[in-house]
Amino acid sequence: MTDKRRITAEDLYELKSVADPRLASNGKDCVFVQTEILADKDEYCSNIYYLNIEKREKPVQWTFGENRNHSPRWSPDGSKLAFVSNRSGKNQIYVMSMNGGEAKQLTNCKNGASNPVWSPNSEKIAFSVLLEENECVDNKVEKNNEKEKLVPLVIDKMKYKTDAEGFLEKKYAQIAIVDVLTGKKELLTKRNVNHTLHAWSPDGSQLVFTANMNLELDFSFVLDVYLLHVESKELKKLTKSTGYFHQITWSPNGKYLGIIGHEREFENATISKIWIYNLEREELSCLTKDFDIAIGDHVVGDFQQGIVTPGLLWTENSRGFYFIATDQGSTAVYYGSLKGEMYPIVLEQQHVYGLAIDKKNHFAVLAISKPTHPGDLFYHHFKTKEEHQLTAVNETFLNEVILAEPEAIQFVGAEDWNLHGWLMKPVNKQAEEKYPLILEVHGGPHAMYANTYFHEFQVLAANGYGILYTNPRGSHGYGQQFVDAVRGDYGGNDYKDLMSAVDYVLDTYPQIDKQRLGVTGGSYGGFMTNWIIGQTKRFKAAVTQRSISNWISFYGVSDIGYYFTEWQIKADISNVETLWKHSPLAYVNNIETPLLILHSEKDYRCPIEQAEQLFIALKRKKKTAKMIRFPESNHELSRSGNPNLRVERLCAIKEWFNSYLKNN
């Protein structure tokens, strides 16, 4: 037995997240972002911390206050640090000296500023700014005490809202430059499209950005790469509107652009690849066309805040680069070369969610999470394999609580496909005691459960539940065929994969009580929860979260509805029969499982009318159902929503399962 206590939902307030490590050019100075929750204000607070890699001393806090300070970026000469802070009310860019002193505010833009990118000479910073048509970059934030006049929203585009931002105003992300010494600003772009800034050329003459400049954006889903000459403002398009390209880095010698992206061969189920643009030859080539592993971090979780995946990090000689890839339930650090060689450098059962490298000395700072370790920074030398921990932000918490360690499982799903998942047994489970099991289904569906900390799983395991979580077809991490296999087959072989997982653990682990099974999931996982209880009565309780219940209405109400439905269900609004066939609402008469419906009021990804339809249909049929609506919350409630509501959500899930799965 252990004297450690069991984790609770409220422990969310005790946990700290570390992310976005950044190394200075000297390979010694490192900064990162630490995020925690202010319990008295029920708000998130982020600050920047510094540590010296060589001295291995305790990290030193560099920014203070109860605001969000993030996106730290070293100047190339290592003398200054730029970062973004909302301390003035909106996100603005600040600069602090390595020698200490107050941070200097560089921008006071009306709509905020973000994404600082240093010039090679450390004298200027390019940044992103939202502007209305013909608006000046120097328009300052002004206090206005007058009551805002209500005006109607006129809509003439299909893409008029997003889950994160709500209804879109006619503002566009532009690129500007600010002089660090004088504060003088210059606007570089003015087109009525969103420009995403990526990198500054080593010679200082050009910036690289991505944008979709097609006139008919409602039916265009590409992201092209452009070069912008800083002095002349001349643009050069490098890609041919054939795909979706992003996360661009410039090689130190200035000859290559490292690009992550794909040509949408399988729409949004296409795995990202590595592309190199040779600036001298003006040629774009794919280095990983035969490398069946998704580039980037596709892990789904509910804890880490401010994760930044850095793209390709070049070596000093510009012949190779390091990157993060998603593979078999983990993320790994790989090395790649211009010759097309790709091999793992750090390959463990863990979630690498942050990466910074020293170009000269072959070491990295990694942000790593594991199922029983929420996340910390680690030093890793690529050649000697030396590794040691740099931070211990949750040490006190981890010394107090007992966490459940999952066991990896392998089983056979539909069509005899080999599948992968985990079983997390209840905390302090007695040897002969039978326990209830909850099947968890991730969203996406193109995401991946992984060897990472998941607060929801730990809370439920602490309350006596076994947790089964798997990666059915449609998940990332198992190759292109696997991730694409769900499209057009929602509720088909993906459902069979999940039921195969349940069958496997029931046959393999006799301590699981077959009569006490629950199921839950969010987004696609919510769709699948709805689908499962409409197809089988084996589950005694279910919780559906931010779900889809009716593909017919989803087509018109979701911010991504019309194109996501066509990509994933492979049917449009003229094919109502197919949309209805894949809709859980069509099977409401079959549902006998008590269902708790959780949904956010401002969820524009899976709008709350999806929950309302299902709830009313169930209640009309006198089924057991309850709905909880979360105010002022969007699709991201469980991951980055209001802390109190996140805790309320976890408690509601626990209490619902307690009502139906615990022995009375």
Structural domain contains residue 527:
yes
Structural domain contains residue 203:
no
**Does residue 660 carry a pLDDT above 80?**
yes
Structural domain contains residue 343:
no
Confidence of residue 361 (pLDDT cuts 50, 70, 90): confident
The residue whose two tokens read 């020698």 is 99
**Does residue 164 carry a pLDDT above 90?**
no
DSSP string, 85-119: E-TTSS-EEEEEETT--PPEE---BTT-EEEEEE-
Using CB atoms within 10 Å of the CB of residue 320, give its burial: 0 to 12 exposed, 13 to 18 middle, 19+ buried.
middle
Using CB atoms within 10 Å of the CB of residue 567, give its burial: 0 to 12 exposed, 13 to 18 middle, 19+ buried.
middle
> What is the total count of domains within the chain?
1
Token couple for 520? 């839950």
For helices 493-508 and 524-535, angle between their N-to-C axes, nearest 10 degrees = 70
- Mean pLDDT value across residues 408-419: 98
Whole-number percent of the chain with pLDDT over 70: 99
Q: What is the CATH number of the domain that holds 570?
A: 3.40.50.1820
**Does residue 1 carry a pLDDT above 90?**
no
**Does residue 663 carry a pLDDT above 90?**
no
Which bin fits 578, alpha (ψ -120 to 50), beta or left (φ > 0)?
alpha
CA 37 centroid distance within chain? 19
- The strand pair at 104-105 and 92-97 is best described as antiparallel
Neighbours of 446 (CB within 10 A): 24
Query: Is the Cα torsion angle 327, 331, 334, 338 positive or negative in sign?
Result: positive
**Does residue 466 carry a pLDDT above 60?**
yes
At 607-657, the pLDDT tens digits run 999 999 999 999 999 999 999 999 999 999 999 999 999 999 999 999 999
523 is catalytic: yes
Work out the mean pLDDT of the chain and round it to a whole number. 96
| Selected catalytic residue, list 633, 635, 638, 640 | 635
Torsion (CA) 481, 485, 486, 491 in degrees, nearest 10? -150
Structural domain contains residue 337:
no
Structural domain contains residue 86:
no
Of the candidates 504, 516, 541, 544, the residue with the CA atom closest to the CA atom of residue 528: 544
Structural domain contains residue 68:
no
Q: CA 261, CA 245: separation in Å to the nearest integer?
A: 4
Token couple for 172? 């566009």
The beta strand positions in 121-167, using DSSP E, are 124-132, 161-162, 166-167
Tell me how far apart the terminal alpha carbons of the chain are, to the nearest angstrom.
26
Structural domain contains residue 160:
no
**Does residue 30 carry a pLDDT above 80?**
yes
Structural domain contains residue 290:
no
What domain range is 609 assigned to?
403-661
| Selected catalytic residue, list 523, 547, 558, 638 | 523
476 is catalytic: no
